Amino acid sequence: MQIDLSVIDITKKFDEFTAVERVSFEVNQGDFFSILGPSGCGKTTLLRMIAGFTEPTAGTIYIRGNDMAGIAPNKRPVNLIFQQLALFPMMTVEENIAFGLQRRRENKADIRKKVRAILDRVELPGFGEKQIDQISGGQKQRVAIARCLVLNPTVLLLDEPLGALDLKLREQMKVELKKLQAQVGTTFIYITHDQSEALVMSDHVAVMNQGTFEQLDTPQNLYNKPQTPFVARFVGQNNAWSGTVHQGQERYHEIRTDEGLIFRTRAEEQLEPGQRVDLFLRPEAMLIQPDPGLTELNRFDVVVNSILFDGANSQLLVSPLNSRRELIVALPQNRQYDYIDEGDKIELGWDKDSGICFRER
DSSP 96-141: HHHHHHHHTT--HHHHHHHHHHHHHHTT-TT-TT-BGGGS-HHHHH
Q: Report d(CA 157, CA 47) in Å as an integer.
A: 7
CB of 98 to another protein, least distance (A): 10
Nearer to another protein, 8 or 91 (CB): 91
Nearer to another protein, 70 or 274 (CB): 70
Q: Which of 245, 254, 205 is nearest to 225 (CA)?
A: 205
CB of 156 to another protein, least distance (A): 11
The DSSP 8-state label assigned to residue 227 in this structure reads: S
* Contacts of 330-337 spanning 24+ positions with Cβ under 8 A: 330/282, 330/283, 330/284, 330/286, 331/288, 331/307, 337/288, 337/289
Our measurement of the distance from residue 157's CA atom to the centroid of its chain's CA atoms, rounded to an integer in Å, reads 15
Residue ranges that bind another protein, judged by CB under 8 A: 51-53, 72-75, 79-80, 82-84, 86-90, 99-100, 103-104, 147-148, 151
DSSP 165-214: S-HHHHHHHHHHHHHHHHHH--EEEEEES-HHHHHHH-SEEEEEETTEEE
Nearer to another protein, 162 or 279 (CB): 162
Backbone angles phi and psi of 11, in degrees to 5: -135, 140
Nearer to another protein, 148 or 304 (CB): 148
Nearer to another protein, 104 or 168 (CB): 104
In sequence order, the 6+-apart residues with CB closer than 8 A to the CB of 173 are 138, 141, 162, 165
CB of 92 to another protein, least distance (A): 13
Nearer to another protein, 83 or 228 (CB): 83
Q: Report d(CA 226, CA 195) in Å as an integer.
A: 14
CB of 73 to another protein, least distance (A): 5
Nearer to another protein, 134 or 336 (CB): 134
Q: Where are the beta strands (DSSP E) in the chain?
A: 3-14, 17-28, 32-36, 58-63, 66-67, 78-81, 155-159, 187-192, 204-209, 212-217, 239-249, 252-257, 262-267, 276-281, 287-288, 298-308, 315-320, 327-330, 345-350, 356-359
Nearer to another protein, 191 or 286 (CB): 191
Nearer to another protein, 99 or 337 (CB): 99
Amino acid at 222: L
Amino acid at 101: L
